[in-house]
Chains A and B, each alone.
Chain A
Amino acid sequence: KQEVTQIPAALSVPEGENLVLNCSFTDSAIYNLQWFRQDPGKGLTSLLLIQSSQREQTSGRLNASLDKSSGRSTLYIAASQPGDSATYLCAVFTGNQFYFGTGTSLTVIP
Chain B
Amino acid sequence: EAEVAQSPRYKITEKSQAVAFWCDPISGHATLYWYRQILGQGPELLVQFQDESVVDDSQLPKDRFSAERLKGVDSTLKIQPAELGDSAMYLCASSPQGGWGNTEAFFGQGTRLTVV
Chain A residues in contact with chain B, CB under 8 A? 4, 31-32, 34, 36, 41-46, 49, 51-53, 89, 91, 93, 95-98, 100-103
Contact = CB atoms under 8 A, between A and B. Distances in A.
A98 B44 CA distance: 9
Interface of B: 4, 6, 33, 35, 40-45, 48, 55-56, 89, 91, 93, 100-110, 112
A89 B107 contact: no
Given A96-B56, A98-B45, A102-B40, A34 B107 contact: no
A97 B42 contact: no
B5 to A, nearest CB: 11
Given A36-B107, A41-B112, A96-B48, 18 more contacts: A31-B100, A32-B101, A32-B102, A32-B103, A42-B109, A42-B110, A43-B4, A43-B107, A43-B108, A44-B43, A44-B107, A45-B107, A91-B105, A97-B33, A98-B105, A100-B42, A101-B42, A102-B41
A34 B109 CA distance: 17
Find the residue from B6, B35, B43, B107 having the highest chain A CB count within 10 A: B43
14 contacts: A31-B103, A42-B110, A43-B108, A43-B109, A44-B93, A44-B107, A46-B104, A46-B106, A91-B105, A93-B100, A96-B55, A98-B33, A102-B40, A102-B41
Contact of A31 (B42, B89, B101): B101
Contacts, number: 68
A15 to B, nearest CB: 25
B101 A103 contact: no
A101 B93 CA distance: 17
A25 to B, nearest CB: 12
A52 B99 CA distance: 12
Nearest to A93: B103
Contacts of A34: 104-105
Nearest to A32: B101
A44 B90 CA distance: 11
